[in-house]
């Protein structure tokens, strides 16, 4: 009897490659941070999933896998989770339970969004997949403008000053440290980018329709603004407004305790609220603003068509705002106070994605999203538990009850072990392995159950070049440019200082012309970007000889170029302040890249193309329900099991970094965000 062949997506080599790929990107993300850094693991893991699947229809879409994988995993880069990590350190049982639950929730959201982005590239028909690039380009244009110009405007001291105290502007390399005084600061969340995306989509809809009813939009807005102003005026003259406002406007802190730094009560005027200061600065016009926005929403609900894939993006943007306004703003549910509440926006985006997928018969995307989120949700919770176990030997806090003559030799013996960069090795690269495993499993389930994707008509070939260019140009730039600040930072060496790269350098042969290091970097990088754009444009008309013919070959080239660019510029950033503690971090990243290179080249084979027959299923709803049940079980397990393991080792002791979530000594109570103190 012939042995049944293992599907390529379930091979050990595939599972390892996808896990290692995401681990590489996640380790580098830890050095670069936020949404831009989170695109790196999305690119690598999504390409790996695509190429190792053995499905030729997926391999032809490798550029789309990289593009949508980057965007999907990027969204979670705005989530704050270090406060939740600190709660698991607290030794305070309620805080530890909350901490491990919060780690699962944050990891679930991050992985679910990443899984949805990757699966969308595999499931959607080519026609609708390429249509979405048009509205997406509108969004990307406004985000590019935001990236280059918003910080330059909002970093000015006159914008970030606290009117009740001295002007404190951010110093170089300390961007937005007074961002709580930004008029648009709203619980430290990405409200402006989300709003700009919605504005861009509304503008695209008007352009796409080009209908006579567009003239009604300003009329709706004017009428809504007038009604809003009238409602606000009636509330004011009736005296109801002062009684209503406390229900909606709350200070983000505890006014019943003393400021530990001054010994005086906190000044409410010096604290942020659950609304941006733009509303208080222009309070007479708040009714006009809310009324106008509501009327515009009604206009688009009546006349909006949201064609060319814009509907998915609208579902995500509207979901972001609904969840953000309902949970942290109105109900006061904050996961990591006083840090940002982008988690709520992420939850709203995920719900919007799920609604869209069910409406448009793309349930496999929803299944992959929940499965990836469930396995990934265990990621940081597990690795944080593992980290706490690894730092237990010789931990001073754990040994606090021992007499000094017993405790001190033990601490000295384990001092080098304790000094290891456990956070980067375990929390960053370790969690990347679990995230990658979640993505590999979710996509493997789809690979065996999905019919062949519709590639007809093969229109909009420009979108493939756009996707590849976005990965090779934009994703690399927004991360690599951060190296410039590291190179030009003044560092202390002994009694002296040094700077690896001068802040300003003259042009060769022209002494009167000089530019900053950042400008020189941009000049060089933009020239490379232009070269790539031109070559992609030529390749669209005639194949360049160095470009492989097959989808597998193209994907391998894209992966290998990208991974070694990322590993190289990550090392360039670390090199100027390299220390023995970085050997494990950068060394593991390098060796993982070597392993990934070998696995991708040796085990992604052309003969794997559709060697295993696909058994399509029509109804994915039962699988989706099972995924939800698994998610709930995993959430309960991670909360109880990991808390129990940590407390069995430490008891009520904290392993360092004590900060409970609850109680009178909770960090958000003792150290709220103040307008005259740098943001934390």
Asked if residues 7 and 447 have their Cβ atoms less than 8 Å apart, the reply is yes
The H-or-E segment that residue 514 falls in is strand 510-516
pLDDT given for residue 654 in this prediction: 84
Strands 510-516 and 504-507 come out as: antiparallel
pLDDT at 457 over 50: yes
pLDDT at 478 over 60: yes
What's the chain's average pLDDT? 89
The dihedral built from the CA positions of residue 506, 511, 514 and 520, taken in this order, carries a sign that is negative
Mean pLDDT value across residues 375-382: 92
Asked if residues 115 and 369 have their Cβ atoms less than 8 Å apart, the reply is yes
Label residue 405 by pLDDT band (50, 70, 90). Answer: confident
Helix (H, G, I), strand (E, B) or coil at 73: helix
DSSP class per residue in 222-287 = HHHHHHHHHHHHHHHHTT-HHHHHHHH--BSS-TTSB-TTTSSBPPGGGB-BSS-HHHHHTGGGHH
Helices 431-449 & 363-390 angle (0-180, nearest 10): 160
Helix (H, G, I), strand (E, B) or coil at 387: helix
Closest CA to 225 of 282, 331, 296: 296
pLDDT given for residue 167 in this prediction: 36
End-to-end C-alpha distance for the chain, whole angstroms: 65
Distance, CA of 322 to chain centre: 19
pLDDT given for residue 611 in this prediction: 59
pLDDT at 135 over 90: yes
- Burial class (CB within 10 angstroms; exposed 0-12, middle 13-18, buried 19+) of 268: exposed
pLDDT given for residue 563 in this prediction: 96
pLDDT given for residue 613 in this prediction: 66
Closest CA to 431 of 387, 386, 379, 389: 379
288 vs 581 pLDDT, higher one: 288
* Distance separating alpha carbons of residues 100 and 106, to the nearest angstrom: 10
pTM over 0.85: yes
CA distances in angstroms from 21 to 43, 54, 64, listed in the order given = 9, 18, 17
Asked if residues 305 and 337 have their Cβ atoms less than 8 Å apart, the reply is no
Distant-in-sequence, close-in-space partners of 559: CB < 8 Å, separation ≥ 6:
44, 47, 48, 51, 600
Asked if residues 367 and 390 have their Cβ atoms less than 8 Å apart, the reply is no
pLDDT at 422 over 80: no
Cis before 457? omega within 30? yes
Q: Which of 18-27, 311-320, 454-463 bottoms out in mean pLDDT, i.e. has the lowest?
A: 454-463
Asked if residues 414 and 408 have their Cβ atoms less than 8 Å apart, the reply is no
Mean pLDDT value across residues 645-650: 92
- Burial class (CB within 10 angstroms; exposed 0-12, middle 13-18, buried 19+) of 228: buried
Q: Which of 343-352, 436-445, 452-461 bottoms out in mean pLDDT, i.e. has the lowest?
A: 452-461
* Distance separating alpha carbons of residues 640 and 96, to the nearest angstrom: 10
For residue range 220-272, what is the model confidence (pLDDT) as tens digits? 999 999 999 999 999 999 989 889 998 999 999 888 888 888 888 898 889 99
* Distance separating alpha carbons of residues 555 and 24, to the nearest angstrom: 18
In b/e form, how buried is each residue of 369-402, taking b as 16+ CB within 10 angstroms?
A: bbbbbbbbbbbbbbbbbbbbbbbbebbbbbbeee
* Distance separating alpha carbons of residues 43 and 256, to the nearest angstrom: 48
* Distance separating alpha carbons of residues 610 and 384, to the nearest angstrom: 40
Of the spans 356-360, 542-546, 613-617, which averages the highest pLDDT? 356-360
SS3 content of the chain, % helix, strand, coil (to 5): 70, 5, 30
Label residue 2 by pLDDT band (50, 70, 90). Answer: very low
For residue range 165-219, what is the model confidence (pLDDT) as tens digits? 433 433 434 446 788 888 899 999 999 999 999 999 999 999 999 888 889 999 9
Q: Which of 81-95, 120-134, 598-612 bottoms out in mean pLDDT, i.e. has the lowest?
A: 598-612
pLDDT given for residue 130 in this prediction: 94
DSSP E strands in 82-181: the ranges are: none
CA distances in angstroms from 276 to 146, 195, 280, 284, 332, listed in the order given = 18, 14, 8, 15, 15
pLDDT at 274 over 80: yes
Distant-in-sequence, close-in-space partners of 673: CB < 8 Å, separation ≥ 6:
180, 188, 252, 253, 271, 272, 338, 679, 680
Closest CA to 283 of 180, 163, 154, 183: 183
pLDDT given for residue 1 in this prediction: 37
Share of the chain above pLDDT 90, in %: 57
What 3 state SS string does 626-655 have?
A: HHHHHHHHHHHHHHHHHHHHHHHHHCCCCC
Asked if residues 480 and 569 have their Cβ atoms less than 8 Å apart, the reply is yes
Determine how many CB atoms are found less than 10 A away from the CB of residue 555.
Answer: 26
């Amino acid at each position: 009897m012939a042995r049944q062949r293992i599907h390529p997506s379930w091979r050990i080599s595939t599972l390892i490659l996808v896990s290692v790929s995401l681990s590489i990107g996640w380790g580098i993300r830890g050095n670069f941070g936020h949404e831009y850094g989170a695109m790196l693991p999305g690119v690598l893991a999504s390409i790996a999933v695509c190429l190792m699947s053995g499905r030729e229809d997926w391999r032809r879409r490798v550029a789309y896998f990289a593009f949508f994988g980057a965007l999907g995993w990027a969204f979670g880069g705005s989530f704050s989770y270090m406060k939740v990590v600190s709660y698991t350190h607290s030794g305070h049982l309620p805080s530890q339970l909350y901490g491990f639950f919060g780690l699962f929730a944050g990891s679930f959201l991050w992985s679910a969004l990443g899984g949805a982005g990757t699966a969308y590239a595999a499931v959607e028909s080519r026609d609708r997949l390429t249509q979405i690039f048009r509205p997406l380009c509108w969004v990307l244009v406004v985000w590019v403008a935001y990236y280059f110009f918003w910080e330059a405007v909002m970093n000015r001291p006159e914008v970030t000053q606290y009117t009740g105290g001295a002007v404190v502007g951010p110093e170089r390399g300390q961007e937005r440290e007074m961002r709580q005084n930004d008029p648009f600061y709203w619980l430290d969340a990405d409200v402006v980018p989300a709003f700009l995306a919605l504005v861009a989509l509304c503008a695209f809809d008007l352009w796409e329709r080009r209908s006579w009813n567009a003239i009604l939009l300003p009329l709706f807005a004017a009428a809504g603004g007038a009604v809003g102003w009238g409602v606000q005026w009636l509330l004011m003259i009736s005296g109801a407004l002062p009684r209503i406002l406390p229900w909606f406007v709350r200070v983000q802190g505890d006014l019943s305790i003393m400021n530990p730094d001054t010994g005086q009560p906190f000044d409410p005027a010096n604290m942020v609220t659950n609304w941006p200061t733009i509303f208080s600065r222009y309070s007479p016009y708040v009714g006009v603003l809310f009324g106008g926005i509501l009327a515009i929403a009604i206009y688009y609900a009546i006349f909006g068509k949201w064609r060319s894939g814009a509907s998915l993006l609208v579902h995500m943007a509207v979901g972001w705002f609904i969840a953000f306004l309902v949970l942290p703003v109105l109900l006061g549910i904050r996961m990591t106070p006083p840090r940002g509440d982008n988690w709520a926006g992420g939850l709203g985006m995920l719900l919007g994605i799920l609604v869209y997928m069910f409406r448009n018969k793309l349930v496999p995307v929803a299944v992959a999203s929940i499965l990836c989120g469930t396995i990934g949700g265990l990621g940081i919770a597990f690795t944080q538990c593992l980290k706490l176990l690894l730092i237990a030997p010789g931990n001073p806090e754990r040994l606090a009850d021992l007499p000094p003559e017993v405790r001190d030799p033990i601490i000295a013996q384990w001092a080098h072990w304790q000094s290891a960069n456990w956070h980067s090795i375990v929390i960053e690269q370790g969690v990347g392995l679990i995230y990658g495993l979640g993505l590999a499993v979710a996509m493997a389930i789809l690979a065996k159950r999905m019919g062949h994707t519709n590639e007809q008509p093969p229109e909009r070939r420009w979108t493939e070049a756009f996707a590849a260019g976005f990965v090779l140009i934009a994703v690399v730039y927004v991360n690599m440019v951060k190296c410039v600040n590291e190179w030009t930072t003044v560092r202390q060496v002994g009694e002296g200082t040094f700077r690896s790269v001068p802040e300003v350098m003259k042009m060769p042969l022209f002494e009167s012309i000089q530019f900053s290091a950042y400008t020189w970097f941009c000049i060089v990088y933009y020239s490379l970007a232009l070269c790539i754009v031109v070559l992609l444009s030529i390749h669209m008309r005639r194949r360049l000889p160095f470009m492989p013919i097959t989808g597998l070959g193209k994907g391998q080239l894209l992966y290998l170029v990208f991974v070694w660019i990322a590993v190289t510029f990550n090392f360039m950033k670390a090199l100027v302040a390299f220390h023995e503690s970085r050997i494990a971090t950068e060394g593991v990243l390098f060796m993982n890249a070597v392993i990934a290179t070998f696995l991708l080249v040796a085990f992604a084979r052309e003969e794997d193309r559709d060697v295993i027959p696909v058994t399509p299923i029509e109804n994915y709803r039962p699988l989706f329900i099972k995924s939800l049940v698994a998610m709930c079980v995993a959430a309960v397990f991670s909360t109880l099991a990991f808390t129990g393991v940590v407390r069995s080792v430490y008891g009520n002791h904290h392993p360092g970094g004590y900060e409970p979530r609850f109680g009178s000594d909770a960090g958000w109570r003792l150290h709220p965000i103040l307008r005259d103190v740098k943001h934390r």
